[in-house]
């Protein structure tokens, strides 16, 4: 067995924070070493994006993404451990996070054939990625390929069994009936308002404000989110629907005056929990509208590390970034050198944004930024030099580009991007 390639695995640049639990990461680090674990953490998000691209049913916002990513990452780690310790296929075990993902897929009614397609995509993508790093060792290529195909079979059959068992438990439950009604409402399918209200125990014809509560750590107890939901709702009628193991959807009847910019003033936020609020809206269409607004606010809030993000504050950015690739192009093409991922340039963007928001008042911008008026004058002039023209030209486009850059700052890309790793299959050592 020649697995020097595995021991030498390292991430390309700074890897993202692992998606798996600390317990899983600790066990994987002991079995593999920190380098291969960080390599898997770097590859998992790209693999997850690719699976969602080809199997859109797995998507639906940050919470479903995180669920799939944990499943993928744990599967990659288990596969690497199998290669490292030459674990036979007969001893392969699907990791805990992957089984939890399978149960979540069943509760979300993702068709089993789509779940299994995700596994196949993962197997193929991981195989491609491994072939890139193994090198010209035909014996090792054969060994890894044979194990990989065997692990994929174990993963697919075990996850299918878990999926079917969870689906049978879930289908007959009251929670499942409520979830189906909510999914129909959010999908815009025809729903009879009185019947839906009866099943949900919540009047879908009323005014609503939708919120999404989520925990950064998947191990956060569901009761933490439930207690926060109860505090946010207060005495108003409300509907709380668990969306995943670490997120909860909430609709509160009435305008929910507390859910304005800056967050609810009298509610203590638990550590590691974030909230996104949608716009107030009425009726069945409003039920959907407010939730989709909360979902957009959640994505933007996560990118900024915000504990509370209100759609009212980011609706322009949400509109402009509905197509992220187009938004990125727009910022780069509009701002030119002023879009550079550099702290000094970011300071110029912030100053120019404040200057335009203040109606091009140097003094008002200086007061807002807590700097001298001359500092604002200098920075605006320098920003215009990078733009290549006075800010008065194309002011609307410049202001929109600055707003997008403020809420969705550019991220440094890794020096090299490997093929998407899509391994949702796997095993763990005994």
Q: 256 pLDDT exceeds 80?
A: no
Using a 10 angstrom Cβ sphere, with 0-12 exposed, 13-18 middle and 19 or more buried, the burial of residue 186 is middle
DSSP secondary-structure letter at 341? S
Torsion sign over Cα 253, 258, 263, 268: negative
| Top-confidence residue, 219 or 37 | 37
| Cα 172 to Cα 102: distance, rounded to the nearest angstrom | 18
* pLDDT recorded at residue 136: 84
Q: Half-sphere exposure of residue 268, counting CA atoms within 13 Å on the CB side?
A: 4
DSSP secondary-structure letter at 393? T
Task: Please identify which residue in the block is written with the tokens 């990078």.
Answer: 386
Least confident of 145-159, 212-226, 268-282: 212-226
Residue-by-residue DSSP string for 111-173 = -HHHHHHHHHHHHHHHHHHHHHHH-S-HHHHHHHHHHHHHHHHHHHHHHHHHHHHHHHHHHTS
**Among 352, 351, 330, CA closest to 410:** 330
| pLDDT digits 0-9 by tens, 34-74 | 999 999 999 999 999 999 999 998 987 888 899 999 999 99
Give Cα separations from 98 to 16, 77, 105 (angstroms): 20, 11, 10
CA–CA–CA angle 27, 30, 31 (5° rounding): 90
Which residues make Cβ contacts (< 8 Å) with residue 32, sequence separation at least 6?
Answer: 6, 77, 80, 81, 84
Q: How confident is the model at residue 276 (pLDDT cuts 50, 70, 90)?
A: very high
Instruction: State the virtual CA torsion across 94, 96, 97, 98 in degrees, nearest 10.
Output: 30
* pLDDT recorded at residue 326: 87
* pLDDT recorded at residue 2: 66
| pLDDT digits 0-9 by tens, 123-149 | 899 999 999 999 888 999 999 999 999
Please, are residues 352 and 402 in contact by the beta-carbon 8 Å criterion?
A: yes
Q: 215 pLDDT exceeds 80?
A: yes
Task: Please identify which residue in the block is written with the tokens 């995943």.
Answer: 244
| Cα 193 to Cα 162: distance, rounded to the nearest angstrom | 34
Q: How confident is the model at residue 427 (pLDDT cuts 50, 70, 90)?
A: very low
In this prediction, residues 349-373 reach a mean pLDDT of: 91
Terminal C-alpha separation, the chain: 20
Q: How confident is the model at residue 220 (pLDDT cuts 50, 70, 90)?
A: confident
β-strand 308-310 against 273-277: which pairing, if any? Answer: parallel
In this prediction, residues 295-299 reach a mean pLDDT of: 91
| Top-confidence residue, 256 or 58 | 58
pLDDT > 90 in the chain, percent: 53
Give Cα separations from 427 to 25, 80, 395 (angstroms): 15, 9, 56
What are 132's two structure tokens? 């890139």
Give Cα separations from 407 to 115, 255, 293, 304, 399 (angstroms): 34, 25, 16, 6, 13
DSSP secondary-structure letter at 272? T
| pLDDT digits 0-9 by tens, 403-422 | 888 887 655 433 333 333 22
| pLDDT digits 0-9 by tens, 151-197 | 999 999 999 999 999 888 876 777 888 888 999 999 999 999 999 99
Please, are residues 277 and 265 in contact by the beta-carbon 8 Å criterion?
A: no
Please provide the average confidence, as pLDDT, over all residues in the chain: 86
DSSP secondary-structure letter at 92? -
Q: 260 pLDDT exceeds 60?
A: no
In this prediction, residues 301-307 reach a mean pLDDT of: 84
In this prediction, residues 203-210 reach a mean pLDDT of: 92
| Cα 270 to Cα 387: distance, rounded to the nearest angstrom | 43
């Amino acid at each position: 067995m020649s697995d020097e390639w595995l021991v030498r695995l390292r991430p390309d640049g700074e890897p993202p924070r692992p998606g798996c639990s600390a317990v899983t990461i600790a066990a994987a680090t002991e079995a593999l070493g920190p380098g291969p674990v960080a390599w898997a953490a770097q590859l998992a998000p790209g693999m997850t994006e690719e699976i969602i691209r080809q199997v859109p049913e797995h998507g639906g916002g940050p919470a479903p993404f995180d669920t799939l990513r944990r499943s993928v990452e744990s599967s990659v780690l288990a596969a690497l451990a199998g290669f490292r310790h030459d674990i036979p296929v007969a001893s392969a075990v699907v990791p805990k996070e992957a089984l939890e993902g399978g149960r979540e897929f069943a509760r979300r009614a993702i068709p089993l054939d789509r779940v299994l397609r995700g596994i196949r995509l993962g197997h193929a993508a991981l195989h491609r990625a491994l072939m890139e790093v193994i090198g010209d060792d035909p014996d090792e290529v054969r060994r890894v390929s044979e194990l990989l195909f065997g692990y994929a079979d174990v993963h697919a059959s075990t996850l299918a069994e878990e999926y079917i068992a969870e689906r049978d438990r879930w289908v007959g439950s009251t929670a499942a009936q409520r979830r189906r009604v909510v999914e129909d409402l959010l999908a815009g399918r025809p729903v009879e308002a009185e019947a839906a209200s009866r099943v949900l125990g919540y009047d879908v014809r009323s005014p609503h404000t939708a919120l999404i509560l989520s925990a950064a750590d998947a191990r956060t107890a569901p009761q933490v989110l439930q207690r926060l939901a109860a505090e946010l709702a207060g005495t108003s009628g409300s509907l709380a629907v668990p969306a995943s193991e670490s997120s909860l959807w909430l609709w509160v009847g009435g305008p929910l005056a507390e859910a304005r910019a800056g967050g609810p003033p009298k509610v203590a936020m638990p550590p590691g929990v974030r909230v996104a609020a949608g716009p107030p809206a009425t009726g069945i269409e409003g039920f959907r509208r407010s939730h989709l607004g909360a979902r957009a606010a959640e994505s933007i809030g996560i990118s900024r590390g915000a504990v509370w993000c209100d759609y009212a504050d980011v609706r322009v950015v949400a509109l402009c970034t509905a197509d992220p690739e187009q938004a990125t192009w727009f910022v780069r093409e509009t701002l030119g050198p002023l879009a550079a991922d550099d702290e000094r340039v970011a300071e110029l963007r912030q100053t120019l944004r404040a200057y335009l928001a203040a109606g091009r008042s140097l003094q008002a911008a200086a007061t807002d930024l807590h700097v001298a008026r001359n500092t604002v004058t200098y920075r605006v002039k320098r920003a215009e030099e990078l733009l290549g023209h006075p800010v008065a030209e194309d002011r609307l486009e410049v202001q929109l580009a600055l707003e997008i850059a403020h809420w969705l700052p550019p991220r440094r890309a890794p020096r090299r991007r490997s093929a998407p790793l899509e391994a949702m299959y796997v095993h763990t050592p005994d």
